Amino acid sequence: MSLQFEDVKSSLGEQFRTSNRRFYSKGSVRVSPSDCILPVRYKQFADRIKNFEVREDDVWIITYPKCGTTWTQEMVWLLMNNMDFKTAIQERLSLRSPFIEYVSISNPEEDKEFGLNCVDTISLAENSPSPRCIKSHLPKDLLPDQLWTKKPKIVYVTRGAKDVLVSYYNHHRLLNGYTGSLRDFAEVFMSESVVYWDPFWKHILDFWKIRNEENILVNSYEEMKKASQVIQVIIHLLL
C-alpha cells in the first residue's frame, strides 16, 4: 500500500510548530495508512525506510517516544556484544544502535545551529555490521516491509500515558526549545497534533496484538524499573 501525505493544518498544530525551535519549522504531515504525524521532511525518506533491507539477525527496538528506548538500546546492545562496556563508553549509542528515521525528521540547518551533524541514519543502519541493533519510533504501518517477512527479533517497549506525556514535554522543552506550558503540550498531545502521534494507543495496540509471535518481545518501562530496583537491592545485600 502506498503512503499518502496530508499537511497538518490546525490551530493547535500551528501553535505547536511555532513553539519549537527544532524539527518542525517546515510544518508536519499526517501519514496514511497509519495517521502518524511526522515533520514534512519525512516525505523525502519514507520509501527508503519502507524498502529498507532487513537482516534476519537484526534486533529492532521499537517504542513510542519516551518509553525507555535508550535504556533498552543499551541493554540490548550490551547483550548482543558480550557486555562490551569499554566500547559502550567510548562509542556513541547513536552509532552503535542507529535511529533509522532520524534523518527524516531532523532539519540539517537546525542541527547545524545546535552544533549537531545530521548524518544519513538510513545509510548508517544499512552499512552497520551484523548483528545490527536498530531503533525506531515509527508505528507498525510505516516500518520496513521486510520486518514482517524476514522476522528479526523485535523488542517493543510501552509506558504509562501520563509519564510519556510529561517526559515528552520535558524532551521538547530541553532539546527542541519548546516554549509552551505543560498544559499547552497536553492539549496538543491529546488533540493528535504532536509528532509521532499514531495515535498513542494504536501505536501500542498494533504490537500488543502480535505479542505472541516468537520473534517479538513486548516489555514495559515499569517492568524494567521494577526489575532494576530488585537488582539494586540484591547487589546492596551482597556487598
In order of start, what are the domains of the chain with their CATH numbers?
A: 4-238 (3.40.50.300)
Of 118, 135, 194, 136, the residue nearest 161 (C-alpha): 194
Distance (Å) of CA 165 to CA 44, 162, 168, 183, 218:
28, 5, 5, 10, 20
Angle at 212 between CA 220 and CA 93, to 5 degrees: 45
User: Of 137, 172, 203, 236, which residue is the catalytic one?
Assistant: 137
Cβ-based neighbour number of residue 55 at 10 Å: 14
- Give the C-alpha separation, 46 to 223, whole Å: 33
Would you state the cell numbers that stand for residue 5, as one nine-digit string? 501525505
pLDDT string in tens for the chain (239-residue length): 689 999 887 777 777 777 877 667 778 889 998 889 898 899 999 999 999 999 999 999 999 999 999 999 999 999 999 999 999 999 999 999 999 999 998 876 666 554 556 789 999 999 999 999 999 999 999 999 999 999 999 999 999 999 999 999 999 898 888 888 999 889 888 877 677 777 889 999 999 999 999 999 999 999 999 988 766 656 655 65
Cis peptide leading into residue 129 (ω within 30°): no
171 has catalytic annotation: no
- Give the C-alpha separation, 133 to 223, whole Å: 21
Helix axes 221-238, 69-80, angle to 10 degrees: 60
CA 69 to centroid of chain Cα atoms: 7
- Give the C-alpha separation, 17 to 178, whole Å: 9
Helix axes 200-208, 161-175, angle to 10 degrees: 120
3-class state of residue 26 by DSSP: coil
